[in-house]
Structure 1
Amino acid sequence: MKKRNAVTPYGWKIKQKLVEKQMDQGTFCDTYHIPPSRLSNLIHGTRKAKKYRKLVSELLGLEE
């Protein structure tokens, strides 16, 4: 069985902002045309995904 990567501090900020907006990850991705795999990469820190990191930060009002 494959072990899941832990959520990074930046990932927790994303999750917190989504809760504040009362939006789940799927809805957020569909609304802003972000691939769900890239959002997951950002939350778990498995890939840099710089383009999407900047976009997500802007949309959620996060500092990079």
Structure 2
Amino acid sequence: MNNKHPITPYGWRIKQRLTELRLDQKDFCRINDIPPYRLSNLIHGTRRAERYRRQIEKLLDLPPS
């Protein structure tokens, strides 16, 4: 898959944490009622999505960016 937007360092932290939890993005979004496109926005840096950013940071125990 060739994405126009590369994964940001913040996006890699999200992906790393999901891997540690043995969750894929789809399941994480389904379990936590987060639209998959919003998680993608955060991973690729295409939108700030502040509400979901705070929620994801809390759920994944990530330091605030």
Same fold (TM over 0.5): yes
Report the CA distance shift for 1:48/1:19 in structure 2 as closer, same or farther (over 3 A).
same
Structure 1 segment 23-42 matched on structure 2, within 5 A: 23-42=23-42
What SS does the aligned partner of 2:48 have?
A: coil
CA distance in 2, matches of 1:44, 1:3: 9
Return the offset for 1:4: 1.6
Match for residue 17 of structure 1?
Answer: 17
Return the offset for 1:58: 0.2
TM-score normalised per structure 2: 0.93
**Fraction of identical pairs, as percent:** 52
Runs of 5+ unmatched residues, structure 2: none
Return the offset for 1:3: 5.1
Moved over 2 A (4+): none
Runs of 5+ unmatched residues, structure 1: none
* Count of aligned residue pairs for this structure pair: 63
What is the CA RMSD across the aligned residues, in angstroms?
1.2
TM-score normalised per structure 1: 0.94
Report the CA distance shift for 1:3/1:60 in structure 2 as closer, same or farther (over 3 A).
closer
